Structures are given as structure tokens and as C-alpha cells.
Structure 1
Amino acid sequence: MKKSLTPLGETEMEVLHHVWELEEATVKEVQERILESREVAYTTIMTVMKNLADKGYLKYHKDGVRYVYRPAQKPESVQSSLVRDLISKVFKGSPMELVQTLVKSEELSDEERKEIRKMIDDMED
């Protein structure tokens, strides 16, 4: 079996972003948002949200017959953890290699490069 680079799959990450934006969401609310860009079954989203709760990324409570999900972790905390995993697995533990790859990327605009430079300069002050 192929091991993922991150503990979260693409759909899991997509669902997590929607719950972060909504702050509180039902399966139906998340499904409706995803349906705006692609077909997805209610049961798929239900399974993904349950898995995210089992993994500790979401928490939920019952409201009548429906489950209402909320983030169990702040986005920044999850993002930091995923980036640490990525650095470890893809860049042999070197944050410098990750930054070099990002900065050399052709998708990065001159404006984004300037902002990154300013961010680093501000950290040194």
C-alpha cells in the first residue's frame, strides 16, 4: 500500500478547510459547498468527516438527528504539523531546502518574493 506524504488526503483537507471557514458545519453544509465545484456523495463527506473526528482534527455534537462538526485544532497548528511532516519526508528534514524550492518556483511572483524577503527581514529585527 502506498503511504501518503501527509496524514490527510486531498478530500480530507478540502473538508477541513470548509469546516474552518464555517466554524461549525453539518455534513450537508460541507457537501453543498463541495458540490459547487465537483460531484460528491453525501456518504463520502459523512465518512470523511467521521474520519477527521477519529484522527482528532474535528469534534462534533449531536443536534437532534444531525451531527454538527467543529474544528478540534486551529488551522495554523494543523498547517505547521503538515509542513513539518513534508519537510521531514520530502526535504530530508531541511527547512532550507523547502524554502529554496519555494523561492525558486516559477509560480512565485516578484511581489510574493518581496513579501517573503520583508517577512524574513522583519523577523530579524
Structure 2
Amino acid sequence: MREAYRDLTRRERQIMDSVYQRGSATAAEVLEDLPEPPSYSAVRAMLRKLQDKGYLTSVQDGPRYLYSAVIPRDEARESALHRLVRTFFDGSRAKAVAALLDPDEGALSAEEMRELEELIRRQKEGK
């Protein structure tokens, strides 16, 4: 699996998030989604750069280009999460979970507890 998002800047990640959220997007649509948006031409340049890096593909739709992600969102999310665990928790998933369960961050809902219990049960059973 490719190490998704490895070499992206903050702005490039924001652009990818916009494309993922919309499924596919034009430069104008991406521009609408960006906080403190740069110029339209800067967004077009970043979209081309993301395409050159292999993160986006595009098709011409009349006078505009429609951009779509090459890597499925789940794969990109999984890769980013693994990198976060490696970087901030010494590769320990247990330390990452412990940080999420910190009582200072607020209590988990009953539904979140059930979900976690089910995940742990399935892990124990090897599923």
C-alpha cells in the first residue's frame, strides 16, 4: 500500500479533503471549501501538482476539469492513522487508544463504548 498523504503540505491535505468530501470537484468548488482561500490560480496550480504527484486524476468536463482522488479515502485515512501512531505514540496502538480514553477529554458515550468493546472482542477472536 502506498504511503498516502506522506508528502503533502497542509494546504494540499485541505484540497484532498475537499475532493474526498465531494467525490470529485472543480477548482472553483475546492476554492469554496478552503479556509482562508488562496487565489483561484493558486488552487489550480496545487491541483495540477497533486495530479503530478499521483494523488488526483482529472477529466475535462466542457471548459473545466473535474478532479477525483486516485487513492480511496479509507486507504488514505488508514495510512495517515498509522503514521500518527508511529510518530506520536512510538508505534503503540495501546498508547494511542489510551490517549483517546483520557478522562480529561470527556467520557465516551454508551454507543462508543459498545463499538470499542466489539472491536476488542473481534480482535481477540482473530477476526
Deviation at 1:41, TM superposition (A): 1.2
Paired positions, count: 117
**Percent sequence identity over matched residues?**
25
Deviation at 1:107, TM superposition (A): 3.6
Q: Which residue of 1 aligns with 2:79?
A: 81
Unaligned segments of structure 1, at least 5 residues: none
1:105 & 1:6 partners in 2: Cα distance? 31
* Alignment check: 8 A CA contact 2:23 2:68 kept: yes
Q: 1:6 to 1:72 in 2, by over 3 A?
A: closer
Secondary structure class of the residue paired with 1:7: coil
Counterpart in 2 of 1:26? 26
Q: How much has 1:109 moved relative to structure 2?
A: 4.3
Measured against aligned partners, the alpha-carbon deviations of 1:23-52 in whole angstroms (never above 9, x if no partner) come to 121111111232xx5342112222322232
Partner of 2:125: none
Aligned to 1:122: 118
Residue 45 of structure 1 is matched in structure 2 by 43
Distance 1:107 1:13, change over 3 A: farther
Report the aligned-residue RMSD: 2.3
Secondary structure in structure 2 of the residue aligned to 1:68 = strand
User: TM (normalized to structure 2)?
Assistant: 0.75
The CA distance in 2 between the partners of 1:64 and 1:25, in whole Å, is: 14
* Matches of 1:93 and 1:109, distance apart in 2: 25
What TM-score comes out, normalization by structure 1 length? Answer: 0.76
Regions of 4+ moved over 4 Å: none
Equivalent positions of 1:64-79 (< 5 A) are 64-79=62-77
What amino acid is aligned across from residue 117 of structure 1 in structure 2? M
CA distance in 2, matches of 1:106, 1:54: 43
DSSP 3-state at the match of 1:25 = coil
Query: Which residue of 61, 64, 74 corresponds with 1:63?
Result: 61
